[in-house]
Chains A and B, each alone.
Chain A
């Protein structure tokens, strides 16, 4: 929403203008209108509930069972046992949680600020700004499986570009993808390659909505570029920051394709989404177990969805 300090009305009606209320009561709703509206809202809602929410809740229900996925009659209720085992005897679980957390922190601390920085640089009347934006955004358009392949060409121990270059300098080949202390960082760089463009575009949008009058006022007051940014622009970016935070968190939680393509998500690349997949798709068939891990993911996501929701309500009330 355009921040306006001068009270100049912007294109959209202000939140608490009652005019519409008053005008509305003058309308008459035909029966046909009601049916049309009911359908227009009802059909998509039904589809969403049936294909997204019902399965999601079923997964939560399945997490309390033991099932191999074959035949509904073999579902066995076992209560919290799956959860107990996940928390006690499942070796990849804590590493996966930890890696998801590292993923989140890395994304928040590296590609996101870089994206912001690039957005600030590009948010000015600059020739070729579109070209720069496109080139930096291009990786976002690629599927993650392809991103994984492209970066494996760089990281492969025996045939990758990086080790070939290092070899010319006499450095022994480094096992980027096989060494568990290195591979997560290698993958994070590949993922960030993509995330920077995404963040840059979001921040460009946010910056466009910051009232230039604010920046001008700051300049008039003698503030330097950095001061103007820190005290005027950045606070005005609050709405976009919330979006960035939510998207980054969700992307970090959902991270999957990249590590799956590289080594199936093992040996230092464990992630929650991969653990779910390993248990429900593939040769293994521990549906209950996998659903329990998925439910844990869901609970963590819900925390952030709630934050996002509360923020919307708070914004509304303002």
Chain B
């Protein structure tokens, strides 16, 4: 290591005038300024140089997409091709990989977001609307509103009563299983939780892991919590809990954790080291019997296995509450607050909110279900038909914990708390107490 780092600073020689700070700063400012000018010329710039407001309804529109997987990406390409043939303009797609897009959403929206971009319904959407980061699309809804149920319209509405979101599709969470496995063993889909636990014991005897379970990524466990909470305490309590209006250390939530303990007894062990894809593989390989997940689990099944896949709705726990609440997250689009091409963006959103757009999307990506009343359901596969029915018969729809609750709470509190619970179910009380303390700190405003 350099022993003798520098000259002795006390030597005479250079006059003090050289180190007049002003020279430094002045010179530095000039340099930085020139760097900035270079940036001006050298950086890549926006696609259209159209006027700042208004824009051209058939002009190019930029589209921010988190659909980095091959199938959804192609589906969007098909949809935009349909847009063009029905008189729309070019859509320039900016694809960011799925996780990064979500992780960067705060920065993205404050920076220079694309005119239209993919996002989700729920608190997350309302949060950005309240912050004034996304554009009001109520005028688009006036044209497309007729194609959607009230529930969907509510899910697309911000706290101020204006719409900010245009839906594309949704998909339910349910308990999936392989028909052949159930038939071979004479199992029946359960309708109550007690029946499901009993079924689980039977499966164990046959050497099957009853409930596949994976929580390495942290969010899958939220599905279980949400359903248990809705089945035990009702939909309204659940939504209030998500909104921070109910306490996590209340006896009602304690009941949820207690019930979850029963399910943990029949769930796959070592869930924290397993990804949901791996868990789905165990169902496909007939090593596990049932799996509570969104219908996207179908992507892990190929060929004949896929036809064998079906689901039953999450069973009821309390007969006075019933089982008519369904967790069905909605994916769709939002508009930037100050889009470069506002008219074009609204034109595109009007198209995307139509049955035609949903049809062309789902023709390529058949893992989800349309939300438009007039969407063509004739080409649905069996799983889609089931999903569509489940959702349309639902009395209330929830969006999933990380979309319904404050995102900071969901990712920094709920995920680790649920993981701790799964590791040590006996600690439920102290975990809940800590969740409440953190919730109070996060939800103030």
Task: List residues of chain A with CB under 8 Å of any chain B CB.
Answer: 1, 12, 14-15, 20-21, 24-25, 27, 29, 34-35, 37-39, 41-43, 45-47, 50, 68-71, 85, 89-92, 157-159, 175-180, 183, 239-240, 242-243, 263-264, 266-267, 278-279, 281-286, 311-312, 315-316, 318
Contact status A286-B14, CB under 8 Å? no
* Cβ-defined partner of A178 (8 Å) among B11, B27, B274: B274
Contact status B31-A240, CB under 8 Å? no
B250 at the interface (CB under 8 A from A): no
Residues in chain B near residue A37, CB distance under 8 A: 18
Whole-angstrom distance between the Cβ of B122 and the nearest chain A Cβ: 12
B222 at the interface (CB under 8 A from A): no
Bitwise, B394-423 to A at CB < 8 A (1) or not (0) is 000000001000011011100111011001
Contact status A315-B3, CB under 8 Å? yes
Contact status A34-B1, CB under 8 Å? no
* Cβ-defined partner of B131 (8 Å) among A43, A70, A157, A281: A70
Contact status B273-A42, CB under 8 Å? no
Interface centre among A46, A47, A179 (most CB of B within 10 A): A46
In the complex, the chain A residue whose C-beta lies closest to that of B7 is A20
Instruction: In the complex, identify which listed stretch (B149-157, B198-206, B435-443) lies at the interface while the others stay far away.
Output: B435-443
- Contacts A158-B274, A158-B281, A283-B408 supplied; 13 other A-B pairs, CB < 8 Å: A12-B4, A29-B14, A41-B24, A46-B31, A70-B133, A91-B420, A158-B282, A176-B273, A239-B1, A267-B416, A278-B412, A279-B408, A318-B3
Contact status B270-A178, CB under 8 Å? yes
In the complex, the chain B residue whose C-beta lies closest to that of A155 is B273
B102 at the interface (CB under 8 A from A): yes
Whole-angstrom distance between the Cβ of B130 and the nearest chain A Cβ: 10
A-B contact pairs, 19 of them (CB 8 A): A29-B14, A34-B14, A34-B15, A38-B19, A38-B23, A38-B24, A42-B25, A45-B24, A46-B31, A68-B106, A70-B106, A177-B273, A178-B270, A178-B272, A266-B416, A283-B103, A283-B105, A286-B408, A315-B3
Whole-angstrom distance between the Cβ of A294 and the nearest chain B Cβ: 15
With A264-B218, A278-B411, A315-B3 already in contact, the answer to whether A285 and B416 are too (CB < 8 A) is: no
Interface residues of B toward A: which range?
Answer: 35 or more
Main secondary structure of the interface of B (DSSP, over half): helix
Q: Complex formed: what's the CA distance from A148 to B308 in Å?
A: 36
Contact status B23-A239, CB under 8 Å? no
Cβ-Cβ contact count across A and B, 8 Å cutoff: 165
For the complex of A and B, list the 9 residue pairs with the smallest distance between their C-beta atoms, beginning with the closest: A178-B273, A46-B28, A239-B1, A42-B24, A284-B408, A283-B407, A175-B273, A178-B272, A282-B103
* Cβ-defined partner of B423 (8 Å) among A50, A180, A282: A180
Contact status B104-A281, CB under 8 Å? yes
Q: Complex formed: what's the CA distance from A83 to B41 in Å?
A: 44
In the complex, the chain A residue whose C-beta lies closest to that of B104 is A281
Residues in chain A near residue B410, CB distance under 8 A: 283
Contact status A21-B8, CB under 8 Å? yes
B251 at the interface (CB under 8 A from A): no
Residues in chain B near residue A15, CB distance under 8 A: 3-4
B434 at the interface (CB under 8 A from A): yes
Residues in chain A near residue B216, CB distance under 8 A: 177-178, 263, 267
Contact status B14-A267, CB under 8 Å? no
Contact status B441-A89, CB under 8 Å? yes
Q: Complex formed: what's the CA distance from A134 to B71 in Å?
A: 42
Contact status B273-A284, CB under 8 Å? no
B13 at the interface (CB under 8 A from A): yes
B32 at the interface (CB under 8 A from A): yes
Q: Complex formed: what's the CA distance from A177 to B409 in Å?
A: 25
Q: Complex formed: what's the CA distance from A70 to B130 in Å?
A: 11
Q: Complex formed: what's the CA distance from A12 to B17 in Å?
A: 31
B318 at the interface (CB under 8 A from A): no
B192 at the interface (CB under 8 A from A): no
Contact status B437-A89, CB under 8 Å? yes
Contact status A1-B13, CB under 8 Å? no
With A37-B18, A283-B411, A284-B408 already in contact, the answer to whether A316 and B11 are too (CB < 8 A) is: no
Residues in chain A near residue B105, CB distance under 8 A: 283
B2 at the interface (CB under 8 A from A): yes
B186 at the interface (CB under 8 A from A): no
In the complex, the chain B residue whose C-beta lies closest to that of A14 is B4
Q: Complex formed: what's the CA distance from A47 to B32 in Å?
A: 8
Contact status A42-B415, CB under 8 Å? no
Contact status B17-A34, CB under 8 Å? yes
Whole-angstrom distance between the Cβ of A215 and the nearest chain B Cβ: 20
Residues in chain B near residue A157, CB distance under 8 A: 270, 273-274, 278
Q: Complex formed: what's the CA distance from A37 to B441 in Å?
A: 52
In the complex, the chain A residue whose C-beta lies closest to that of B419 is A267
Contact status A1-B2, CB under 8 Å? yes
* Cβ-defined partner of A38 (8 Å) among B2, B18, B417: B18
In the complex, the chain B residue whose C-beta lies closest to that of A241 is B1
In the complex, the chain B residue whose C-beta lies closest to that of A290 is B412
* Cβ-defined partner of B27 (8 Å) among A1, A43, A183: A43
